Amino acid sequence: MDDSKRYVARLKFKLEVFESKATAFQDLFSRVMTKAFHDFQIVHTQGRKGDQKNDGFIPSKGIYYQVYAPEKPEKSTKKAIEKLETDFNGLVKLWNKETPVKEFYFVLNDEYRGNYPDIHHAVASLQKTNKDTKIGLFLPKDIEDIFLSLPEEKIQDIIGYLPGDGGLEGVDYDVLTEVVTYLLKNVKSIPDDGSLEVPNFDDKIRFNKLSGNISALLTTANFQASVLYDFFQNNSGFCRKDLRDKFSVLYKESLAEIPDYASSKNDLVFFDILRKSTPQKTKNAQDAVLVLMSYFFESCDIFEEPKNI
C-alpha cells in the first residue's frame, strides 16, 4: 500500500474512533484484532454471567483485553479507574486458573487526546501490586498501529474501499442514479441562501487547508463532472437543489462532530462526508460520490469560500 492510500486509511480509521462509543468501539477493536491475530478470541456477553471481565483474549499468550469507551472520556476518569481495578481483579479470579493472565490491557478510547495523570497512576499502582502480570493501557493509537500493519485487503474489510492512485476510470449512469436517489431520500432541508460565487479551485483547497491527497481526489473526480452535468441537465432543478442542501447539511454536521483538536480536521471532514453519503461501500459508488463532492466543492456548497486571497 502506497503512502497516499495509507494516509486515507489512517483518516478513515480515525473517523471510526471518533464516532464509535461503547459497543461500537468494542466492535471496531475486535474487528482489527481478529484480522491481526488468528487466535484472538472475542468473548460475548452471556446473560447474567456477562463477559466475566473479558472482552477478548489470545489464549496461547495469556493476553487479555477489557474495553471501555465512554461518551465523554474527559469526564469519566473516576469511573475508568474503578473499572480498571474491578475488571482486572475479576478477570484474574475467573480466568487465571484455566488460562493464566500474563498480560492485561485496558482498552480505553481516549479519542487521541491522551489521559489524565490519575489514569496513569492507577495503572502503575495496579502493576506494582501484580508484578507477575504485565498491565497497561491500550489506546486508539495502539489499535491504529496494528490496523496499519495489516495487508491492504484486510484494511479495506475494516474501513471500506480506499481510493487508488489510478484515479477514477469513469462513472456509469446506473451507479450515479443510485447514489443520487439515495441522497434525495435522505435530504434534510436547510434555508435556501442562494448560490455562492465560484472561486478558483486551487485557492479553495489552500484556504481550507486540505492535504494534497484530498486535492488529487477532487481534481481527478472533477474530470468526470461531465457525467454529472448531463445528469442535472436531464433532470429538474429540484434535484440539484436538494442534493446541494444534503451535502451542505453533511458538511455542517461533520464540522460539529469532529473535534477541533483533531489533526487534519478538514481532511477528516471530507472523508466523513464521503462515508455518510455512500449507500454501498463499493468502488463504483464511492467514485460517483467523489464526483458529486467535487461538483459541490467547486460551487462552494461544501467547505469554505476563500476570502482575502
Please provide the distance, in angstroms rounded to a whole number, between the alpha carbons at the two ends of the chain.
Answer: 36
Is 46 or 129 the better-scoring residue by pLDDT?
129
Q: What is the rounded average pLDDT of the residues 33-49? A: 84
Which parts of the chain fold into alpha helices (H)? 3-19, 23-36, 77-95, 117-128, 140-148, 152-159, 173-185, 201-207, 212-222, 225-233, 237-257, 265-276, 283-298
219-235 tens-digit pLDDT: 887 777 776 777 777 66
Domain 3-159 has CATH 3.40.91: yes
Range with lowest mean pLDDT among 22-26, 159-163, 264-268: 159-163
Which of the four pLDDT bands, split at 50, 70 and 90, describes residue 194?
A: very low
- Residue range(s) in the chain whose domain bears CATH number 3.40.91: 3-159
User: 180 vs 240, which has greater pLDDT?
Assistant: 240
Mean pLDDT score, 73-78: 83
Calpha distance 135→64 (Å, rounded): 10
For residue 178, the model assigns a pLDDT of: 59
Query: Has residue 52 got a pLDDT over 80?
Result: no
Residue type, 37: F
- pLDDT for residue 176 is more than 90: no
